[in-house]
Structure 1
Amino acid sequence: MGVENTDYREESLDLINPFDIKLVSEFLEPLGFDFDPHDVDYTMILYNLNGEVIGTGSHKGKVLKYVAVSPKFREGAAFAQIVTHLIDRVILKFKHIFVYTKPRNLEVFKGLGFTEIATAEPLFSVLEFGYENIKTYQDYLRSLRREVTVGNIAAVVVNCNPFTKGHKYLIEKACKENRLVYLFIVEEDRSSFTFNIRWRLIKEELGHIDNLIMVKGGDYVVSGTIFPCYFLKEEKQCDIAAKQAELDVLTFLRYIVPILNINKRYVGTEMYSPVTAAYNEAMLKHLPANGVEVLEIPRITCGGDKNYISASKVREAIRKDRLEEILDFLPQSTKSFLLSDESREIREKIKNTVTRH
């Protein structure tokens, strides 16, 4: 796929060269972008024949980022040339490409072959392109679907970083109260505990439950692939979190609920994470009006009324080398893992980072 245009010259940037970083940062800043060279794998820039920078584009993995063209060149082929350049590069490694943009840019990307997944006005639209798409994920869901004629079908979405007794309680409660439960595990490896480890610890503890079906979250369930906020520098963080959550909930409602006939979604109450709290609020706003009951289950405590179990407390204890203080927060699978040599790399990683994840 290529766009030939002799009026423009493409150039790949060196992301460790201060001059190149300054060049793209100064171009993007007046267009409303805060360029972060650590947030991309590759950046290109487009010049006209006078050597003037007229556009740029980047990608991080399968996500296109910082795609922008100077206002006076937006009527020409510059935008298409940048996007095509990035597609040609990314599609070699990934079968699937995402772009997140403001809703006003929807039609431009659609004109280049992208398909809209969801929009949360006025901040976000998410589109995709490639050999795989949301229908591929829906086919995966169909392969797991179990037909039931009576009883409720519930969904629980968890990250489990790591898997705690709080998660176990929520999932087991859903299984006791419903005919079938689909447990979506966030798949993207942005957490301290890898997806494979999280999946394994959950399966070891809960794999015996007949009406529980474990599901990979893919790119569509609380995926960090979703939601780059680099183009929203003028917006309040609380508004961004709310619209991120809305995008995810709308995607769940539109593409997942109908395939699995879900009519309940279980969530834990949230008092620690503003992002998770925003998700719960978005669910309460959109799901009940569309036939999905939201059940917000109070967090359980350990050894005291205010000692709420949370994965973030577990990570903090690991960070401070006080694992013994929170062992009662953990089901046997997680406890055995954290006390084994196999977890050493993860424990060291947590100790050496200051992020919430």
Structure 2
Amino acid sequence: MEYPDPWQNRQKWQIKTLPLSSETVYKQVEEFLLEHTNLKLTALDYCAGLFIDEELLAIGGFLDNTIMNLAVAKSARGKGLMQFLLEHLQAELKIRGFAHLFIYTTPENEKIIKSLGFHLLYGNRQYIFAENRFWGISSFGRNLAQQTAEAEGVALVVNANPFTYGHLHLVEQALKIKDRVRILLVETDKSYFPFSERLQMLKEGVKHLKGVSVFAGGPYTLAAGVFPDYFLKQSGEQTKLQAELDCHLFGRYLGPALNCSIRLFGQEPLDVTTAQYVQAAQNILPQYDIEVRIIPRLAYRDQIISASRVRALYKEGNFLQLENLVPPSTFKFLQEKHGGAC
């Protein structure tokens, strides 16, 4: 079909919500993405399509406050459809109360997103990642730097869902490397325990250790919009790209802000997604002069202590076994949350 001039006949341009809960719609969106971008569909909070005369010509959506999964039919590119769709997605996010926005897309959209007020945080030949605040990540980094200038330290990034003896072991080992340890806690509320509870358990669990500081990870540390597969526990090429992006953000911005030249990880023999993330860190962080060190995970009765195991015991109400896997402060918190001693 003949496509109109970009800003003419807009009355024919229709934006329709694409409910991914529908198997038929999900398959349609998935096939469109693969055909026109070679991207795999990510779980989204909202997805929309741009239609002209009932023909689907562009799609896009968002997860939390990150716009992603953008695609325009190859035959309809350069007609202004992407900008039209992006303006709709921005308006929809505003309705939902989001002001600070991110976008994850392919390099050919860089000029368009910059015209809409986005500023590039990282980009390569495969994807670009940007936010709509000029001083966003710089301001976040400056705030961290003001609190970490006194001495170089070791960085840890944890989800602590919940805080276990395994996490405590990691912190204690970090203190053997340097006498300053900076912990970034994942702030995204996609975990079983919300951020406020995880923060409380983490702070209580390390307050007896001198030289340990805890910081909120903000929207730049394992955020759902940056690394959705971390929370979905998926693996594959797309997961690898997401992990690499998170590591580039840490290496370029957060590591220097934390004044840390070492980032410590626990060995990951159980979780494929986390193992892929650790591998990405080993490949990328040295490019930013950040050394990656990996230590064996703590075990109890020949079983690695994991937060997932603790959650399973908590859901069962099995506090007898759970007590062996978490510090007293976490145990007390979980007992009280569960409704009293068990």
Aligned partners of 2:115, 2:286: CA distance in 1, in Å? Answer: 35
Residues 1:158 and 2:161 are matched in the alignment: no
The C-alpha deviation readout for 1:275-323, integer Å capped at 9, x for no partner, is: 1111222222222343222221111222x3x222111211222344433
Matches within 5 A, 1:242-253: 242-253=240-251
**3-state SS of 2:323 partner:** helix
One-letter identity of the residue aligned with 1:343: H
Cα distance change, pair 296–23 in 1 and its aligned pair in 2 (3 A): closer
**3-state SS of 1:288 partner:** helix
Aligned partners of 1:45, 1:280: CA distance in 2, in Å? Answer: 36
Question: How far did 1:147 drift?
Answer: 2.0
**Which residue does 1:99 correspond to in 2?**
103
Residues 1:26 and 2:21 are matched in the alignment: no
**Which residue does 2:338 correspond to in 1?**
343
> Is the contact made by 1:144 and 1:213 (CA closer than 8 Å) also made in structure 2?
no
Question: How far did 1:34 drift?
Answer: 6.4
Cα distance change, pair 198–5 in 1 and its aligned pair in 2 (3 A): farther
Matches within 5 A, 1:179-258: 179-228=179-228, 237-258=235-256
**Which residue does 2:285 correspond to in 1?**
287
Residues 1:9 and 2:13 are matched in the alignment: yes
One-letter identity of the residue aligned with 2:48: M
Aligned partners of 2:160, 2:29: CA distance in 1, in Å? Answer: 40
One-letter identity of the residue aligned with 2:79: G
> Is the contact made by 2:267 and 2:297 (CA closer than 8 Å) also made in structure 1?
yes
Question: How far did 1:226 drift?
Answer: 0.9
Question: How far did 1:11 drift?
Answer: 3.3
Cα distance change, pair 13–330 in 1 and its aligned pair in 2 (3 A): same
Aligned partners of 1:77, 1:139: CA distance in 2, in Å? Answer: 37
Say which of 317, 320, 325 aligns to 1:324.
Answer: 320
Say which of 306, 310, 313 aligns to 1:314.
Answer: 310
Question: How far did 1:24 drift?
Answer: 7.4
Residues 1:110 and 2:149 are matched in the alignment: no
> Is the contact made by 1:28 and 1:68 (CA closer than 8 Å) also made in structure 2?
no
TM-score by length of 2: 0.83
Aligned partners of 1:327, 1:179: CA distance in 2, in Å? Answer: 29
> Is the contact made by 1:10 and 1:46 (CA closer than 8 Å) also made in structure 2?
yes
Aligned partners of 2:125, 2:269: CA distance in 1, in Å? Answer: 27
Question: How far did 1:96 drift?
Answer: 1.3
Question: How far did 1:228 drift?
Answer: 4.8
> Is the contact made by 2:154 and 2:262 (CA closer than 8 Å) also made in structure 1?
yes
Cα distance change, pair 242–23 in 1 and its aligned pair in 2 (3 A): closer
> Is the contact made by 1:13 and 1:43 (CA closer than 8 Å) also made in structure 2?
yes
Cα distance change, pair 294–47 in 1 and its aligned pair in 2 (3 A): closer
> Is the contact made by 2:154 and 2:261 (CA closer than 8 Å) also made in structure 1?
yes
Question: How far did 1:131 drift?
Answer: 6.9
> Is the contact made by 2:119 and 2:133 (CA closer than 8 Å) also made in structure 1?
no
Aligned partners of 2:124, 2:273: CA distance in 1, in Å? Answer: 16
Question: How far did 1:4 drift?
Answer: 6.1
> Is the contact made by 2:164 and 2:327 (CA closer than 8 Å) also made in structure 1?
yes
TM-score by length of 1: 0.80
> Is the contact made by 2:165 and 2:305 (CA closer than 8 Å) also made in structure 1?
yes
Identity %: 29
**5+ unaligned residues in a row in structure 1: which ranges?**
230-235, 346-357
Cα distance change, pair 182–120 in 1 and its aligned pair in 2 (3 A): farther
Aligned partners of 2:293, 2:271: CA distance in 1, in Å? Answer: 18
> Is the contact made by 1:55 and 1:70 (CA closer than 8 Å) also made in structure 2?
yes
One-letter identity of the residue aligned with 1:65: M
> Is the contact made by 1:96 and 1:131 (CA closer than 8 Å) also made in structure 2?
no
Aligned partners of 1:58, 1:22: CA distance in 2, in Å? Answer: 17
Say which of 296, 299, 303 aligns to 1:298.
Answer: 296
Question: How far did 1:156 drift?
Answer: 0.8
**Which residue does 1:52 correspond to in 2?**
55
Cα distance change, pair 82–130 in 1 and its aligned pair in 2 (3 A): farther
**3-state SS of 2:260 partner:** coil
Cα distance change, pair 255–160 in 1 and its aligned pair in 2 (3 A): same
One-letter identity of the residue aligned with 2:308: S
Cα distance change, pair 41–75 in 1 and its aligned pair in 2 (3 A): same
Aligned partners of 1:28, 1:292: CA distance in 2, in Å? Answer: 38
Cα distance change, pair 205–42 in 1 and its aligned pair in 2 (3 A): closer
